[in-house]
Structure 1
Amino acid sequence: MTNVKLCIPFASSLLAVYSALAQPTHPVQYQTEVGFYGTSIPFWLRANQYGIVPSQGPSVTLRQGFSRAYRSVTRNNDSLPAHKRRIDWGWGVEGVLNAGASYKLLLPVAYVKVKFGKNLEVWAGRRREIIGLVDSTLSSGSYAWSGNALPMTKLQIGLPDYVPGNALFGIKGFYAHGWFENDRLVNHVLLHQKALYGRLGKPNWRFKLYTGMNHEVMWSGTTNQLAGKSVIKNDQLPNQFSDYINVVLARPLGDRTDLDTSRISTFDHENRIGNHLGTVDLALEYTARSFSVFAYRQNIYEDGSLFHLTNLADGLNGLRIRNRRPRNPNGLQIQDVLLEYVYTQSQGGSLFLENDAQRGRDNYFNHSQYQDGWSRYGLTLGTPFISPTTDSRAELPRYGFTNNNRVAVMHLGLSGLIMDYFRFYLKASYSENIGTYEVPFLNPVYQFSGLLSISSPVRHLKGTTATASLATDQGELYENRMGFYVGFRKEGLF
């Protein structure tokens, strides 16, 4: 008995020492959230939430996540200094349960990542991502990849940060292969994705210039639901390695005479293999002592209009002003102000002809082969303002994945602090919607969507935050509605 009594405090001491040493070196972070949505869920309660918010309420949501980041750059007690570590790793997982009229269990995050050297990263699984030069918190949504839908299952290699880090010129980018869900008109669809961005100016310079582009492609797939041999052969879209090379290079097939017409359809021959889209981005950042300015432009390409300079009017334009003054413990302090203008009504014009000046009718996010559109589980992968047909009022025309890809949106975002205790953000968007070239709306349809969210720490509950959000839709595109969300979130390390 004496030995047992001695061992218990000794073991407890070892555990305490281990915990003290292990926690700062490579801890696991956890996030637990419980919340409630009211009967109606307006646009801004659901948009750009990675597909985890239910489409209808009332609903209770439970969210649990765990993650382990790369080791800190400081010297660890039980390992080499992180900056000398040649290989490091991390992981993350998050589950979401929505319970209302029905139950749905989602897995938005599940990944393993490995870092080689200072910045080369390989990861597999699902992660939250926004692609493009854009504000990441208050934006209406990056055009091609906004975080509006459930994250894609991918295998990716890339440089997540600009390298060399302190040089005059730096680059970052990635190359990825992914898989769409199979609950689609076309199943076994693959994703090809890559991006390359450059920065001119050292990180500590006042002025910095950014530019780059991203390339998104849906390709391959099987279905027996596409009528006619002009768009598919033998129920199989091109899926061979030679087709993959054509996808990666975005190679047009119109001039090719060596194609296997037993598997390459007329549609593929006259266009490219796959559904190609993306943006070419430009941004300028200015940092002063008390504020910073970030201005950006995303130029849209799909079907070649940007190459022929016929859809230059289309794009996402943004201006963010950030307050860099110290926090004010008294009164109201605005932190970020964001203005954006999204325009997609040109699409190169109403004609699609083999003529540089008349190569238009791009029909953003719709496609003749991939008729579920640029979507995942029914939600738009890109800007949420090109929304699914099913989201619009019943009296509006029904067409394709989206019946409204010609939009003009003014968007305001605002965030700040009250008494250095309450954190708030506001989103307000007003849009003109005119349908598509194929099925235009009879008259322009106008829509306002807004959101106000306030959060604060909960006293006596360390690491716990309470949030209350109120949103509304008023106009002619969506049903008029008001909705709310209240929730509690606990974060910590172990």
Structure 2
Amino acid sequence: ISVPGTNHWLHIKGHLAYGTFTDNNWQEDFARSGNLYTKDVLYHSKSFFMKVGKKESFPLEFEAGLQMAAQFGGKQYVEGQKEPIMKMPSDFMDFIRVLIPMSGSDNAMEGEQINKYGNHVGSWNIGLTGYVQDWRIKAYYEHFFEDESQMFFGYGPWKDGLLGVEVTLPENQFIDALVYECMGSKNQTGPIFYEGFRGEFEQVSAKDNYYNHYIYQAWQHWGMAMGNPLFTGPVYNKDGRIMFANNRINAHHLGISGTPGKEWAYRLLLTYSRNWGTYDNPFDDVKKQFSSLLEVTYSPVKWNGWSFSISGAMDRGNLLGNNSGGMLVIRKTGLIK
């Protein structure tokens, strides 16, 4: 929305949501050999963004914002036992404790009382968009975090994040838009180490172990990563552990789309990643993975609302193995008359 009194130079947007995870049965069936899993976990997310700019008057727009999400409540089980080994409270005040991150109540586990209640993740997002004639160029950066040290420069410069450039071209026969992104998640505030030589306890924030958690096991739903598909989700684990075995990644992504004719469109996606596993369990060798997708869509003008798409995808590498697949989609939008 445009902020009143700013003559459309300042805009804000945001959201607030609560929900529940739906993978209770999947987690129970997937966990094996005495592994942990959770049920009845609740979900919370929120965001706030602002944009400064008015392209009709000035060709630059700046936007910045914060988005956060959390797992809370629920029960933790160990495979083979019917009764939960731990229950997380979910009273009204606990909904407030994840809205405004704060320590847990006396009913929460000790770790939740010392730190923040629930499993929180988030990202700072900034972007700058420029308009040059019929060109639109946007550069953006997303810095993700899982604790206060990464959220507020508690350990030095932001070393993990995603940097991208998106270009929308003037009307032509070949390319409508292209995007390039590079992502790094290797640092995680560095490996943990001990600095105390006099016997005192010293707080060390390190080895954040992205998307893994000691209560909720993993930032996942039905075995898949939420928010970043390059983190190798638990569904790929053959030992029934609900955790991320790979979260230290460097990756590059290129996407191109175009409409070479009024009835034809395509998109091409290419992603290459190098993977180190986790700090606790690193891979013996760096694993590499290449993924690609090509999709072509035909939308006949005389058949309003109908489109036909065919796509092919291919993975090559020693992280997820070699895979190939295809898909045919027949789509109708609007009313069928």
TM-score (norm. length: structure 2): 0.85
Is this contact kept in 1: 2:17–2:46, CA < 8 A? yes
Specify the alignment match of 1:270 in structure 2. 114
Tell me how far apart the structure 2 counterparts of residues 355 and 289 of structure 1 sit (CA, whole Å). Answer: 56
Residue type at the aligned position of 1:462? N
Specify the alignment match of 2:197 in structure 1. none
Tell me how far apart the structure 1 counterparts of residues 311 and 122 of structure 2 sit (CA, whole Å). Answer: 32
Residue type at the aligned position of 2:120? H
Residue type at the aligned position of 1:246? R
- 1:437-476 Cα distance to aligned partner (Å, 9 max, x none): 1111111101100111110113653321111111110111
Go from structure 1 to structure 2 and tell me whether the alpha carbon gap of 1:350 and 1:311 turns closer, same or farther (over 3 Å shift).
Answer: farther
Residue type at the aligned position of 2:291? S
Specify the alignment match of 1:91 in structure 2. none
Go from structure 1 to structure 2 and tell me whether the alpha carbon gap of 1:412 and 1:398 turns closer, same or farther (over 3 Å shift).
Answer: farther
Tell me how far apart the structure 1 counterparts of residues 315 and 265 of structure 2 sit (CA, whole Å). Answer: 23
Go from structure 1 to structure 2 and tell me whether the alpha carbon gap of 1:309 and 1:335 turns closer, same or farther (over 3 Å shift).
Answer: farther
Specify the alignment match of 1:367 in structure 2. 213
Query: Larger radius of gyration, structure 1 or 2?
Result: 1
Go from structure 1 to structure 2 and tell me whether the alpha carbon gap of 1:493 and 1:443 turns closer, same or farther (over 3 Å shift).
Answer: same
Q: What aligned pairs does 1:375-414 form with structure 2 within 5 A after superposition? A: 375-391=220-236, 400-414=242-256
Go from structure 1 to structure 2 and tell me whether the alpha carbon gap of 1:360 and 1:311 turns closer, same or farther (over 3 Å shift).
Answer: farther
Specify the alignment match of 1:189 in structure 2. 41
1:343 aligned residue (166, 184, 194)? 184
Is this contact kept in 1: 2:131–2:137, CA < 8 A? yes
Go from structure 1 to structure 2 and tell me whether the alpha carbon gap of 1:485 and 1:285 turns closer, same or farther (over 3 Å shift).
Answer: same
SS across alignment from 1:492: coil
Q: What aligned pairs does 1:23-422 form with structure 2 within 5 A after superposition? A: 161-164=1-4, 167-181=8-22, 182-183=24-25, 184=27, 185-204=37-56, 205-225=58-78, 235-252=86-103, 260=106, 263-306=107-150, 307=152, 308-310=154-156, 312-323=158-169, 325-326=170-171, 328=172, 332-351=173-192, 358-371=204-217, 373-391=218-236, 400-422=242-264
Specify the alignment match of 2:324 in structure 1. 482
Is this contact kept in 1: 2:224–2:234, CA < 8 A? no
Specify the alignment match of 1:43 in structure 2. none
Tell me how far apart the structure 2 counterparts of residues 478 and 275 of structure 1 sit (CA, whole Å). Answer: 27
Question: What's the offset of the Cα at 1:402?
Answer: 1.3
Tell me how far apart the structure 2 counterparts of residues 463 and 171 of structure 1 sit (CA, whole Å). Answer: 34
Tell me how far apart the structure 2 counterparts of residues 234 and 365 of structure 1 sit (CA, whole Å). Answer: 22
Is this contact kept in 2: 1:310–1:359, CA < 8 A? no
Q: List gaps (5 residues or longer) in structure 2.
A: 28-36, 195-200
If asked which structure has higher relative contact order (CA below 8 Å, sep 6+), I would say 1
Tell me how far apart the structure 1 counterparts of residues 115 and 254 of structure 2 sit (CA, whole Å). Answer: 38
- 1:366-399 Cα distance to aligned partner (Å, 9 max, x none): 111002x11122221111001214337x6xx986
Is this contact kept in 2: 1:196–1:213, CA < 8 A? yes
Go from structure 1 to structure 2 and tell me whether the alpha carbon gap of 1:223 and 1:361 turns closer, same or farther (over 3 Å shift).
Answer: same
Q: Which deviates more from structure 2 when the two are superposed, residues 206-215 or residues 311-320? A: 311-320
Tell me how far apart the structure 1 counterparts of residues 193 and 102 of structure 2 sit (CA, whole Å). Answer: 19
Is this contact kept in 2: 1:305–1:311, CA < 8 A? no
Question: What's the offset of the Cα at 1:200?
Answer: 0.9
- 1:310-348 Cα distance to aligned partner (Å, 9 max, x none): 47110111100111x23x4xxx32111111001111110
SS across alignment from 1:468: strand
Q: How big is the alpha-carbon RMSD for the aligned residues of Structure 1 and Structure 2?
A: 2.5
1:445 correspondence with 2:297: no
Fraction of identical pairs, as percent: 29
Residue type at the aligned position of 1:480? N
Go from structure 1 to structure 2 and tell me whether the alpha carbon gap of 1:338 and 1:198 turns closer, same or farther (over 3 Å shift).
Answer: same
Tell me how far apart the structure 1 counterparts of residues 301 and 11 of structure 2 sit (CA, whole Å). Answer: 44
